[in-house]
C-alpha cells in the first residue's frame, strides 16, 4: 500500500520507517511510527538504578529512583 501522504514519504526518506513497513502498513500506522521517532517504534531508554538499589540484582522496583539515558 504505497502511500501518497507527504508525511509518510518524508519519514521513509529520513529512515524513520522501513521500506517493508511502507509497503505493507496503512497510513495511520505509518504516521504513528514516524511521529514516535525511529523504525523500532519509539525512543529507547536505558534505566539504571541509583542510590541504595544500585548494588541489588534484578530490575528496578516500581517507584524507585532510576536514571534514564536515551
pLDDT reading at 16 higher than 70:
yes
The total number of structural domains in the chain stands at: 2
**32 and 51 assigned to the same domain:** no
Q: Which range marks the domain in which residue 60 is found?
A: 43-70
The DSSP code sequence of the chain is -----HHHHHHHHHTSS-HHHHHHS-HHHHHHHHHHSSTTSS---EEEE-GGGGGS-SSPPTT--EEEE-
Residue 34's pLDDT band, with cuts at 50, 70 and 90, is confident
**32 and 47 assigned to the same domain:** no
End-to-end CA distance of the chain: 33
pTM of the model: 0.51
Q: Between 48 and 14, where is the model more confident?
A: 14
Please indicate, yes or no, if residue 1 is contained in any of the structural domains: no
Q: With beta carbons less than 8 A apart as the criterion, state whether 27 and 8 touch.
A: yes
Per-residue confidence (pLDDT) for residue 70, from 0 to 100:
61
**29 and 51 assigned to the same domain:** no
**65 and 48 assigned to the same domain:** yes
pLDDT digits (tens, 9 = 90+) for 35-52: 876 655 555 667 778 887
Cα gap 37→11, rounded to integer Å: 9
Amino acid at each position: 500500500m504505497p502511500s501518497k501522504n507527504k508525511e509518510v514519504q518524508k519519514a521513509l526518506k529520513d529512515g524513520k520507517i522501513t521500506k517493508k513497513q511502507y509497503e505493507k502498513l496503512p497510513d495511520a500506522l505509518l504516521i504513528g511510527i514516524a511521529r514516535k521517532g525511529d523504525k523500532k517504534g519509539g525512543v529507547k531508554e536505558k534505566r539504571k538504578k541509583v542510590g541504595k538499589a544500585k548494588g541489588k540484582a534484578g530490575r528496578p522496583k516500581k517507584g524507585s529512583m532510576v536514571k534514564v539515558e536515551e
